[in-house]
Amino acid sequence: MQHAFKSVLAIVCLVLSSHIAFSQEVDLFKMQDSANAAQSATRKEPVINTFYSTRLVNSHTVEITGKGSMDFRINHRFAPVNTGLYNMFGLDAASMRMGFDFGIANNLMVGIGRSTFFKELDGFVKYRVVHQQEGAAPVSVALLASLAYRTLDMDPTLKVTGSDRTFFTGQVLIGSKLNSHTSLQISPTYTHYNRVLFYSGGSQDLFSIGFLGRQRISKRISLTAEYFLQTNRFNGTYDPLSVGVDINTGGHVFQLHFTNSTGMNEHTFIHETTGSWGNGDIRWGFNISRIFHIGRKKKGDWAKS
């Protein structure tokens, strides 16, 4: 009997010691998971997809076209909806811009384009100097320099030179992805006209500040808005305001919007908007962006795509 009691006691002690050891093992796993989580939280990863595209509606965002990629873009703006049923609420007339943007390096892109509005050619360089990182940089900062050249035939009596047809714009783009759904950006902007044609008032040097916002409502759909406040303006012009929807289908980004702007490069949409939302001068428009990879990928890059 005494021997049986000792055997039972030994089994109970073995079970209890095994249970305690197992509990300690589980606790160690939990501690390791906590340590891994803490390490991941402190890792400084760049923030991606602050916006779906390098442009929101008309304005550039802090996004950069990937290195070795080409972004083929088509922008369309129809006539004002207040032109009535005869013009199918603006659908009978349109202006457009076609452009090609190229990713040169991880934070550097260039682009060229042509607009039917005033028959302008344009080009730009954009460089991201700061990339938002978790636990480090709270914002992304990009610098933009753009040039436009107006090829429209003009009255010979105006004696317009090539320099008179040229416009320069510089921007500082400061954007932040506040969370997985909300992104904001401000864009201090300077524009220089070598010569002011067709407009009165204002000056050759114009300043403005842009406000951009994106609110994601699903995995592939976001609501967008952009507004530029001008510190000085030409007579008969208004601040540009655009609201829209971005639809991301993977290789394509479709942007549908309403805007009071006709122009689609920097100086025209910011400073030459003659339509007013209050007067019903609202244009329906859309942008289509298609990314093509044109550079050679290094071994191992495919896994990153």
Note whether residue 64 is domain-resident.
Answer: no
Phi, psi of 235 (to 5 degrees): -65, 140
Radius of gyration of the chain (CA): 28
Q: What is the CATH number of the domain that holds 82?
A: 2.40.160.40
pLDDT at residue 281 above 50?
yes
The confidence score (pLDDT) of residue 297 equals 60
Note whether residue 44 is domain-resident.
Answer: no
Domain housing 237: 69-304
Note whether residue 269 is domain-resident.
Answer: yes
Band of residue 13 on the pLDDT scale cut at 50, 70, 90: very low
Note whether residue 132 is domain-resident.
Answer: yes
Band of residue 298 on the pLDDT scale cut at 50, 70, 90: low
User: Between 303 and 101, where is the model more confident?
Assistant: 101
How far apart CA 285 and CA 287 sit, in angstroms, is 7
- Give the H or E element holding residue 8: helix 2-42
| DSSP β-ladder status, 94-105 and 108-115 | antiparallel
Structural domains counted in the chain:
1
Note whether residue 8 is domain-resident.
Answer: no
Three-class SS of 163-204: HHHEEEEEEEEEEEECCCCEEEEEEEEEEEECCCCCCCECCC
Segment 195-217 mean pLDDT: 94
pLDDT at residue 126 above 80?
yes
Note whether residue 2 is domain-resident.
Answer: no
Segment 266-291 mean pLDDT: 94
How far apart CA 28 and CA 44 sit, in angstroms, is 26
Q: Which residues pair with 189 in a beta bridge?
A: 171, 208
Note whether residue 3 is domain-resident.
Answer: no
The confidence score (pLDDT) of residue 202 equals 85
Q: Which of 21-25, 94-98, 148-152 is least confident?
A: 21-25
pLDDT at residue 300 above 60?
no
How far apart CA 296 and CA 111 sit, in angstroms, is 20
Lookup result for tokens 């300043």: 207
How far apart CA 36 and CA 55 sit, in angstroms, is 37
Segment 35-61 mean pLDDT: 77
The confidence score (pLDDT) of residue 211 equals 98
Note whether residue 61 is domain-resident.
Answer: no
